[in-house]
Structure 1
Amino acid sequence: MRKVSISRQRGLSLIEFMIAGLIGLILTVGLVQIFVSNRQAFDTTAASANVQETARIGTEIISKAVRNADYWGCVDNANVFNNLDDTGAGYDADILGFGSGLEGADNNADGTDAIVDGTDSITVRGTRGSAGITIDSPMPTSSANLDVTSASLISEGDIVVLTNCQGGDIFQVTKLPPGGDKIQHNGGNSVSPGNGKNASGCGTANCLSQIYDVGASVLLPYTETYFVGTGASGGPALFMRTGVLSGASVGGVQTVELIDGVENMQILYGEDTNGDGAANAYRTAAAVADMEDVVSVRVSLLIRSSQERVLDSAQALTFNGTAVDGSDLRLRRVYTLTSTIRNRM
């Protein structure tokens, strides 16, 4: 019987080793490419979701503010008398003047303020409800205290609006007399800036413009400015600056960062030039002849992703007629909303 000898493998040849290494390298490169591609797709998807969420919140905030602007109960702002003492300490006409329900500023160029240069800002004013507080006893005179259904939500020093369908009065609460739900609106320096216009000529500074009957509403006024500034992250953000109309700092302002990632805001105002209740032309704030004729507002927001380098190359994008610098490889999109001022329709 023939004996078969089996030779043992003693190792790999250089050629075999090089071929195995090449195959492994090809597989590794393929896996890396798959990982990089998936990571790029994930980053782009996350950036897109981030931009969409920022735009959704930003447009909702601004559209709501525009819709509700210039509400003064069932009267126009022109029929609301401002009793606040414009010579009193702490009086700021921008906060306490309540001159217009809507104002705008184009292309900020003041490098010393908090607003990003080249962006627009919008200011809205009006009133909000105060849990249904109304007068429940007729005023005997225009200088008398107000008997109201409840004064629990009102504090001394608050700025309030008293309104019916014939007119309205803005005044500062000087005291909440004990023994019932009453509101006092005296003149003098008990609060700042205080009252002092004497609209009805009754001989004292605490007269209102009319004698109010049962059912007149007590409302809470507000002044809000929306603008693009530098946020806590160091990047651009949408801000709201609101007037302080209660407490010890009446007439001051509070600034709140609303949402990060709003890089620019440009605003056009729909002006009703023929009185039919519809906008005939959209113009910048400087080109509007009379802001009282504006019935709608068109706002364009340039939104950017929070993360850099999510794109393979710089995005080609134009905003407000100017090319946007996309060298940081962020994802950017433009969102435009048009909202009517429902209290002017």
Structure 2
Amino acid sequence: MNVISHQKGLSIVELMIALTLGLILIAGLVQIFSGNQRSFIVGEANMRVQETGRMTTEFLGRAIRNADYWGCIPRENVANKLDNTHPAYTAAEDLFSFSDGFMAYQSDGTTPGLDKTDALILRGVGGAGDVAITDPMPNSSANLKVNTVAGISESDILLISDCIAGDIFQVTGTQTGANPGINHNTGASVKPGNGKPRDGVDVTVDNNCPGNAANCLSKQYDQAAQIYNPYYYQFYIDDPSGSRALFRKDGADPAQEIMDGVWDLQIQVGIDAGLSNGEVTQWVDIDGPTALSTSAAANVVAVRMSVLARSPENNIVDAPMELCYPSWTDCSSAPNYKVADKIASDSRHLYRVYTSTATIRNRILRVEQN
């Protein structure tokens, strides 16, 4: 009688086939996972770069559009009552002069900003909350009677204007209680203090300045006047923590990071000579610290900015990118900006160029009103 034997376990051939099929399956799953992970990383980098470019151009565009606003009058009708003979004024004239509302330059490494990156200086005024004049001034050296002094402190710099004249002055004290007021004395406790009555502005009214006091304003303001907060903004690229970003410095306050991932900023300005019709007749490159003169800056009506945004992570692209930057460059033959040459041969970050043009609307309105 033949004995039937039953198979026990797997043969070597069957085991090898099973292992091979398992390895193929695992390799496929790893490849799918790796591809998805790569797509996620690239997609995230692209979103970060898009956000950086969009937010930077929007933020700068809004600031440029609002620049050179001095209430309902042009800057030449605003007198600066700050004491320009005080050492604090002469040491920081840019901060206290509140001169024309726009300037642009290319940093050389000694001015704010990284070498070869462009920067903006914007001046103007913004609202001072709900502060309103309640009583006419009996004379132009009297304190200002207001409805509230909330948010106003000694040494603050304010502008008062009524569409006829305007004055920039420093607060030397406040009165609270039932009859609040704002003082604008010469100021022994504040720097630089006030001085120079009627300096820098010619008004058609008698300012009734008793004894020609040094703290007289350009006129006796009444309830038609408004109070504003002057500002002095500097926008530039810096990397204090090793990662480039757009920064804004507000007066003498420490600089604040506005948007990270901004690798470079390049600017062109549109000139309308004499602010004749509000139309750009010449585009000027900002290619040096003094590329834009003060007289030319006063005729700028538009700003074209090109932002180079970079992803935080490296190894996003297969090779260093080649771009057309700034965007107004003629790149019909080939890209002009090679990351390997301009930045680093191992920089495989994702770079994108974002360009926007903003009009200084207060200057355009001034042209239209004239």
TM-score where L is the length of structure 1: 0.89
What is the CA RMSD across the aligned residues, in angstroms? Answer: 2.2
1:182 matched residue in structure 2: 181
How far apart, in 2, do the equivalents of 1:185 and 1:131 lie? Answer: 19
* Equivalent residue letter for 1:37: G
Judge conservation of contact 1:136–1:215 (CA < 8 Å) in 2.
no
1:33 matched residue in structure 2: 31
Partner of residue 238 from structure 1, selected from 229, 232, 246: 246
Partner SS, residue 65 of structure 2 = helix
How far apart, in 2, do the equivalents of 1:224 and 1:10 lie? Answer: 81
Cα distance, 1:302 vs structure 2:
0.4
How far apart, in 2, do the equivalents of 1:75 and 1:118 lie? Answer: 36
Q: How does 1:1-345 map to 2 (within 5 A)?
A: 5-9=4-8, 11-13=10-12, 15-91=13-89, 92-106=92-106, 108-110=107-109, 112=110, 115-177=113-175, 180-199=179-198, 203-232=212-241, 234-243=242-251, 252-273=252-273, 275-285=276-286, 286-287=291-292, 290-320=296-326, 321-325=336-340, 327-345=346-364
Partner SS, residue 175 of structure 2 = coil
Judge conservation of contact 1:231–1:257 (CA < 8 Å) in 2.
no
Judge conservation of contact 1:121–1:228 (CA < 8 Å) in 2.
yes
Cα distance, 1:198 vs structure 2:
2.0
2:203 matched residue in structure 1: none
TM-score where L is the length of structure 2: 0.83
How far apart, in 1, do the equivalents of 2:255 and 2:292 lie? Answer: 28
% same residue: 40
1:247 matched residue in structure 2: none
For residues 47-101 of structure 1, the C-alpha deviation after alignment (integer angstroms, 9 at most, x for no partner) is 0111111122212211111111111100011111111112324321111110110
How far apart, in 1, do the equivalents of 2:121 and 2:113 lie? Answer: 13
Q: Summarize the Cα distance change of 1:219–1:12 in structure 2 as closer, same or farther, 3 Å threshold.
A: same
For residues 131-161 of structure 1, the C-alpha deviation after alignment (integer angstroms, 9 at most, x for no partner) is 2423222222221111123222321111000
Partner SS, residue 54 of structure 1 = helix
Cα distance, 1:306 vs structure 2:
1.1
Cα distance, 1:328 vs structure 2:
2.3
* Equivalent residue letter for 1:318: C
How far apart, in 1, do the equivalents of 2:112 and 2:5 lie? Answer: 87
Q: Summarize the Cα distance change of 1:139–1:11 in structure 2 as closer, same or farther, 3 Å threshold.
A: closer
How far apart, in 2, do the equivalents of 1:16 and 1:228 lie? Answer: 66
Judge conservation of contact 1:102–1:124 (CA < 8 Å) in 2.
yes
More helix by share: 2
Partner SS, residue 356 of structure 2 = strand
Partner SS, residue 50 of structure 1 = helix
Cα distance, 1:339 vs structure 2:
1.0
Q: Summarize the Cα distance change of 1:181–1:9 in structure 2 as closer, same or farther, 3 Å threshold.
A: same
Partner SS, residue 90 of structure 1 = helix
Judge conservation of contact 2:68–2:362 (CA < 8 Å) in 1.
yes
Gap runs ≥5 in structure 2: 200-208, 327-335, 365-370
Partner SS, residue 150 of structure 1 = coil
* Equivalent residue letter for 1:240: R
How far apart, in 2, do the equivalents of 1:323 and 1:5 lie? Answer: 78
Q: Summarize the Cα distance change of 1:265–1:217 in structure 2 as closer, same or farther, 3 Å threshold.
A: same
How far apart, in 1, do the equivalents of 2:229 and 2:316 lie? Answer: 46
Cα distance, 1:225 vs structure 2:
0.6
Q: Summarize the Cα distance change of 1:114–1:71 in structure 2 as closer, same or farther, 3 Å threshold.
A: closer
